[in-house]
Structure 1
Amino acid sequence: MDLNEAFHIISEEEVQEINSALEEGDLCKATERLHESLNEIDNAPLNIAVTGESGSGKSSFVNAIRGMDDEEEGSAKTGVVETTTESKPYVHPHYNNVTIWDLPGIGSPNFNSSAYLNLVQFSRYDFFIIMSSERFRYNDMQLAKEIQSMGKKFYFVRSKVDADLHASLRRRTKTFHEENILKEIRDNCINNLHDGGIRDPHVFLLSCLDIDKYDFNQMQEILEQELPSHKRHVFMLCLPNISLPILEKKREALRKEIWKWALLSCAVATVPIPGLSVVCDVAILVKEMVKYQKAFGLDQCSLQKLANKFGKDVSELTSVIKSPLVLTEINKELVTTLLTRGPTGILMTVEYAASNIPVIGTMAAGSISFITTYWMLYRFLKDIAEDAVRVVKMALGSPV
């Protein structure tokens, strides 16, 4: 296996360190560096700036993107008047390395884009969301140009499109067509930005009250494509579980990681210390299985939020979950039991015996550890992803 190709979200420098350690036969050093690199991927900081004029829905967007409602403890304060006078960080409830920043409004007649970016500490953000509930104005465009000149990405969000659709329906009862109205709004925004000197703008139509509708899937796809690979991984995992495409992307992102953790397990198993591999395998499996629960929103707190959002009883959602492990607390005791029973238990026994045989035995132990870790993570991911799809379909009222 070519490590340079496989570790596409690990830096070249880190890959070289791991390769060098392996070539020198220093398995301990290679294992340690591999473990550090994988943890750095999961914990890569992601800072998203949300800005726009007063009343554009910035705070509601901050809450929606974090999977929270406006009245929930820890949510961004919302209101009909400007409630943000300074940059306020809101940490994602499940990912401490992800922060959504609610920036001050930019509606002042004396707005200066350069001074504004200095005020909000421009350099700490990975990208900017510029919001408007109507047409994008001069200040929005000036800010976008300043951001672009400084080498950062920005995206326009036209919010509150649900209100526009409702108003249009009342005015055009007989001729109303939702897709046509949305196209009119989008074209108007794009043409307006073109007139202001913004070329090829990304414009997404959203409703923070129904974040799963309209352009949310398109927005997450564009952001995923344009973020650096390690940030892309974090961004995908922290998205709210509100659509089937998001669930599938999460499954694919996590699936690509499995072999790396299995390789780490293999590397540890080749270290000639009996019992070390089992301890490592348990730690890896607990960490990753808990991460899967969190990523797919199948912990009890997330299920309750989903039920509340769609007006369901949480028992309706849990009734379609088939895997007995999905709703179970994942801990060391549970994983140790899983490792020591059935075919997996036989493999672990063979691995332990092999680890006591110099050279050839430790190589065999490494192979067994790789297979065991890979299979258990692959199977659990498959089961929990399928259960997540059934839960979201139930929430949306689709056939399960």
Structure 2
Amino acid sequence: MDTPSELVENKELYDEIKEAINKSHEEGAAKIMELLDQQKNTPLNIAITGECGSGKSTLVNALRGLSNDDERSAPTGPVETTKKATPYAHPKYPNVKIWDLPGIGTTKFPAAKYLEHVEFKKFDFFIIISDTRFRENDVKLAHEIQRMKKKFYFVRSKIDNDLRAEQKKKGFNKEETLSKIRNNCTEGLENEGLESHQVFLVSSSEPYEYDFSRLGETLEKQLPAHKRHALLLAMPTINLEIIGKKKEIFQGKIKYHAARAVICSSFTILKDVAREYQAGFGLDCESLQKLADSIELPLSDLEAVMKFPLADNERLTAVFTDILSLWAASVAVKTQKLDFFSAIGIVGSKALSCWSTYYSINRLLDMFVDDALSVFTKVLDHVTAKP
């Protein structure tokens, strides 16, 4: 529920919603969609850089939720495959682009001229990746990025390979090994004059393990609000915090969908929003199949913990009908939301219609969040049970 001060601050936005509702059917629908598109089209450009063979392309693919053998993936290999800065759009959120940059220090891209070659100004932040220690070229690049007042993050890749090698040694301890690798990287950076910089240990093939989740949280917290939303929606649901923050973003958009209810049918809106939530929480058929394949778990095991239908239109219709039939039961909340719509000049039957859809979509969102939590728990249990 918006406070009075928030209503004043957002008056321009609310005036736009009111104007859209008072237009003709076609004009009003187009205006509401324009307002929604403004939120989802914020550009975000992430640069992945490092020395040749450090795992740049694999990380690009992991951040986009793709395996290396997907036809949309950045090419990977034992030799340098990236000849120029190449953007790879997120498959569901094309406004988010992950850039695979050429390896630092190659003959064609010496460190001294590297940022000039890759047009550094267009990137929101840099991820500097290494599969061993961070070397002289990594540090030179970090100093230059820092001088230009851009943010950068150090990622130590292929951690799963290191652990497999260490497991063969007597007295192996996973946590001690990870701490040793992290300290080794940090000390190397400090010796090169870079102090107090976090190093994230990741395996691009195992995003539920190690520091992949912590990396995402750090990136999100240090971005401006509008960029933060773009990153969060594009991120895979690899921890509970991301699921909760995605829910908050979707809740903030329900007012727009409710306003559309005055112009279009509520059922059509619910179907559109359901597809948006499926994609955002990774609950669509393609995402679930990729997730199941990546952790070597049958798809049916993930579907078994879900309550919301994926592709069964008859069941989907039944769920929507049930939601719409229950909206009037919440009288106290209804009064609050009617106050909101009245505050922006929408009264009577239009306000009731807006509230009906607001309540319905909010309940719809809760159902998807429940399924996202169930799938996440199932995946985490399966991953942690592996030897």
CA–CA separation in structure 1 for the residues paired with 2:99 and 2:5: 35
User: 3-state SS of the aligned residue for 1:151?
Assistant: coil
Alignment correspondent of 2:304? 319
Retained in 2: the 8 A contact 1:128–1:153?
yes
Alignment correspondent of 2:101? 103
Retained in 1: the 8 A contact 2:208–2:380?
no
Question: C-alpha displacement at 1:143, in angstroms?
Answer: 0.8
Alignment correspondent of 1:342? 325
Retained in 2: the 8 A contact 1:286–1:335?
no
Alignment correspondent of 2:338? none
RMSD of the TM alignment (CA)? 3.5
Match for residue 369 of structure 1 among 347, 353, 368? 353
Retained in 2: the 8 A contact 1:135–1:189?
yes
The alignment status of 1:178 with 2:163, answered yes or no, reads no
Alignment of 1:109-258 (within 5 A): 112-113=110-111, 115-171=113-169, 173-174=170-171, 176-258=172-254
Retained in 1: the 8 A contact 2:20–2:32?
no
User: 3-state SS of the aligned residue for 2:283?
Assistant: coil
Q: Which moved more, 1:282-291 or 1:295-304?
A: 282-291
Does the C-alpha gap of structure 1 residues 34 and 226 become closer, same or farther in structure 2, counting only changes over 3 Å? farther
Retained in 1: the 8 A contact 2:324–2:360?
no
Retained in 2: the 8 A contact 1:156–1:202?
yes
CA–CA separation in structure 2 for the residues paired with 1:371 and 1:23: 14
Alignment correspondent of 1:357? none
Alignment correspondent of 1:292? 277
Alignment correspondent of 1:358? none
Match for residue 52 of structure 2 among 51, 54, 57? 54
Retained in 1: the 8 A contact 2:278–2:368?
yes
| Aligned length, in residue pairs | 365
Alignment correspondent of 2:67? 69
Q: Which letter does structure 2 place at the counterpart of 1:382?
A: D
CA–CA separation in structure 2 for the residues paired with 1:394 and 1:23: 44
Match for residue 18 of structure 1 among 13, 17, 29? 13
Question: C-alpha displacement at 1:287, in angstroms?
Answer: 3.3
The alignment status of 1:40 with 2:50, answered yes or no, reads no
5+ residue gaps in structure 1?
A: 270-275, 348-360
5+ residue gaps in structure 2?
A: 331-344
Retained in 2: the 8 A contact 1:282–1:336?
no
Match for residue 365 of structure 2 among 373, 381, 385? 381
Q: Which letter does structure 1 place at the counterpart of 2:302?
A: L
Retained in 1: the 8 A contact 2:240–2:373?
yes
Cα deviation 1:192-219 (Å, max 9, x = unaligned): 2122222332321001121221011111
Question: C-alpha displacement at 1:310, in angstroms?
Answer: 1.6
Retained in 2: the 8 A contact 1:60–1:76?
yes
Question: C-alpha displacement at 1:245, in angstroms?
Answer: 3.6
CA–CA separation in structure 2 for the residues paired with 1:366 and 1:141: 60
Cα deviation 1:79-103 (Å, max 9, x = unaligned): 1111111112111111111111110
Does the C-alpha gap of structure 1 residues 318 and 339 become closer, same or farther in structure 2, counting only changes over 3 Å? closer
User: 3-state SS of the aligned residue for 2:253?
Assistant: helix
Retained in 2: the 8 A contact 1:126–1:152?
yes
User: 3-state SS of the aligned residue for 2:154?
Assistant: strand
CA–CA separation in structure 1 for the residues paired with 2:109 and 2:356: 59
CA–CA separation in structure 1 for the residues paired with 2:371 and 2:162: 36
CA–CA separation in structure 1 for the residues paired with 2:92 and 2:222: 23
CA–CA separation in structure 2 for the residues paired with 1:34 and 1:16: 16
Q: Which letter does structure 2 place at the counterpart of 1:95?
A: Y
Q: Which letter does structure 2 place at the counterpart of 1:385?
A: V
Q: Which letter does structure 2 place at the counterpart of 1:306?
A: L
Does the C-alpha gap of structure 1 residues 21 and 383 become closer, same or farther in structure 2, counting only changes over 3 Å? closer
CA–CA separation in structure 1 for the residues paired with 2:308 and 2:20: 42
Aligned residues with identical type, % of pairs: 41
Q: Which letter does structure 2 place at the counterpart of 1:49?
A: A
